Amino acid sequence: MPAGRWKGAGGGGASWWCGGPPSTNALILAFVLPLSLFVETLVTASRVADDLDERFLREMEVNRAIMEEDEEDDDREVDEGEEAEEDEEQAPVEGKEPVVIGAAVAATPTRTRNRPRRQILFIYLLHVAADKQRSEMARQQGVASMLALALVLGTFAAIPTGVQSIGVCYGVNGDNLPPANEVVQLYQSNGINLMRIYFADTNALKALSGSNIGLIMDVPNDQLGSIASDPNNAANWVRDNIQAFPGVSFRYIAVGNEVSGGDTNNILPAMQNINNALSNAGLGSIKVSTAVQSGVTQGFPPSQGSFSQGYMGPIAQFLQSTGAPLLANIYPYFAYTGNEQQINLNYALFTAPGTVVQDGNNAYQNLFDALVDTMYSALENAGAGNVNIVVSESGWPSAGGDAASTGNAQTYNQNLINHVGQGTPKRPGAIETYIFAMFNEDQKQGLETERHFGLFNPDKSAAYPINFN
C-alpha cells in the first residue's frame, strides 16, 4: 500500500476475503462420499420395506390356508350333524325321548356352525398382524429416514459455507519483525490460511512450503518494464520464484500494485508474459492479475460505476479471457477521510443502523459494499461482467490520522471478518478478502497511518482483540 493513495470519495485501496476454494479431495470428502452413503441408505430402506411386504404377504397366505381348512372342517361337521339329525328323525335312539318339532325344550339341540366366529377371529388376528407389520415397517423406515437425514445434514455441514478463513497481507517494512517461520506459525495458530506478499521473499517462500497457506505474490512495480519487454524475463521470473518452490500453494500473481503514471502501459504486456510463462511451465492454474485501488473507477451510485483510466478496459478483457479475478484494494478509511463532510463514520465502519444509499433495488448499509459494487459495475461496463473481484487489501489504521484509533481499527476489521461471507447487494456470496496488514511496520514510507495498520505487534502480541473464526 503506497503512500500516495487516492483519497477521493470513492475510497482508496483495500481488500477482504472469505476463504479459498476447497480442494478436489476436500470436495470428495465433503460431498461425494456422504452423498453416496445417502443413496445407499435409501436403497437399503427400500429393500427393507420390500422384504417386510413379502413377509407380510406370506403370512397372509398361511392364514388364508388355515381359514380355508377350518371352513372345510366346519362343512364336514355340519354335513355329519345333518345326517345324524335325519337318522334320529327316522329311528329314535333307545333311552331318549324323540325331539318334538316346535316344542320349547328339545332333548338334543342342533349345533350351530362356528364359521362366522372363526372368520371374525381371523379378521381380528389379520388386523393385529397387519398393524404389527406396519409398525415394524414404520420403525425400520423411520430409522432409515433419520439416518438419511443425518447424512444429508452432515453432507451440507461438511461443505465449506463461504468464510473459512481470512487472508492477511504480510509486509516486512519493519526493523524488529519476527522471522518468517514464526510468522507462518502465527498465521496457522490464528486460523489464517491466506497470505499476500509484495515480492518474491525467499524466506517467506521457504517458510510457507508445505503449510497449505494460499498465497498471492506480487511482481514489484519496478520489475514490470523488464518483464513486459521480454518474455524470457517472465519465464526466468517464474522459474526462480515459483517453480523453485513447489511446496507453496500459489493462488494469484499480482503484476504490479496500484501502478500509476507511465508504468501503467507495462501492466498488460507483463501480465500476458507471466501468464504465458506459467502455462508453458504447466502452472496454468495459478491466475495472473494486477492490484488496483478504487481511484481507477468513477461514478455514483454504485450501479453507475465505470473505469476512469483507459488502460483498465483491456486489462478487464484479458482477465475475462483467462478466468482470473481482478485484485482490488478497497479502503473505506481513505474514502471517509477524503470526504468526511458527506460520508458518515458509521457507514465506513459497518455500524450504520440502516440503509444509507438506495441504488435501485440494492440497499447499501456500509461503504465497503458500495466500493466493491462500483468496481463490479465498472467491469460490466467494460464488457467483463464475468470477472470476479478478490479484495487484495482492506484495513483501518489504529493511529496516525483522523479517525485512526485502536477502537475504530478493531471495529472495522472485526466487522469486515464477520461480513465477508455475505457478499454485496450486487453480488451476493463470499468474497475472498485479505486484511492489511499482519504487523505494524515502523519503516513504511508515507503518511503516519501507513505504519499503524497491523493486527499484531512485532512481538507477535495482538494489537487489539480480533476473532478470525
- CA atoms of 442 and 358, how far apart (whole Å): 41
Question: Considering only 115-119, 221-225, 341-345, which range has the smallest mean pLDDT?
Answer: 115-119
C-alpha cell at 12: 482508496
Tell me the per-residue pLDDT of 414-462, one tens digit each, with 9 for 90 and over.
999 999 999 999 999 999 999 999 999 999 999 999 999 999 999 999 9
The confidence score (pLDDT) of residue 103 equals: 31
Catalytic residues: 258, 393
- Bigger pLDDT: 156 or 419? 419
Tell how far CA 114 is from the center of its chain.
71
Which helix (H) or strand (E) segment holds residue 8: the answer is none
Q: Which pairing describes strands 287-293 and 249-257: parallel, antiparallel, or unpaired? A: parallel
- Dist. CA 124–CA 189, nearest whole Å: 69
HSE, CB side, 13 Å, CA atoms: give it for residue 172. 14
| Residue 362's pLDDT band (cuts 50, 70, 90) | very high
Average pLDDT of the segment spanning 272-298: 98
What share of the chain has pLDDT > 90, as a percent? 64
Predicted confidence (pLDDT) per residue in 20-77, tens digit? 444 444 444 455 455 555 555 555 555 645 555 555 555 556 555 555 555 555 555 4
Q: pLDDT at residue 181 above 70?
A: yes
Answer yes or no: are the C-beta atoms of 453 and 329 closer than 8 Å.
no
- Among 346, 344, 342, 369, which Cα is nearest to 358's? 369
Average pLDDT score, the chain:
79
CA distance 448 to 319: 35
pLDDT of residue 64: 58
Which is higher by pLDDT, 283 or 115?
283
Q: Which residue has the higher pLDDT, 277 or 39?
A: 277
pLDDT at 79 exceeding the cut of 70 = no
Q: Over the stretch 208-267, which tens digit does the pLDDT of each residue have? A: 999 999 999 999 999 999 999 999 999 999 999 999 999 999 999 999 999 999 999 999
Peptide bond before residue 428 is cis, with ω within 30 degrees of 0? no
Q: Amino acid identity, residue 37?
A: L
Chain center to CA of 437? 25
DSSP track, 59-107:
HHHHHHHHHHHHHHHHHHHHHHHHHHHHHHHHSPPTTSPPPPTT-S--S
Quickly state the pLDDT bin for 356 (edges 50, 70, 90): very high
pTM of the model: 0.69
Q: What is the mean pLDDT of residues 132-159?
A: 42
Is the distance from CB of 305 to CB of 25 less than 8 angstroms? no
Determine the Cα–Cα distance for residues 78 and 160; give it in Å rounded to an integer: 78
Q: Residue 393: how many CB atoms within 10 A of its CB?
A: 29
Distance CA 218, CA 224 (A): 11
Query: Which pLDDT does position 363 carry in this prediction?
Result: 98
Of residues 120 and 138, the one with the higher pLDDT is 138
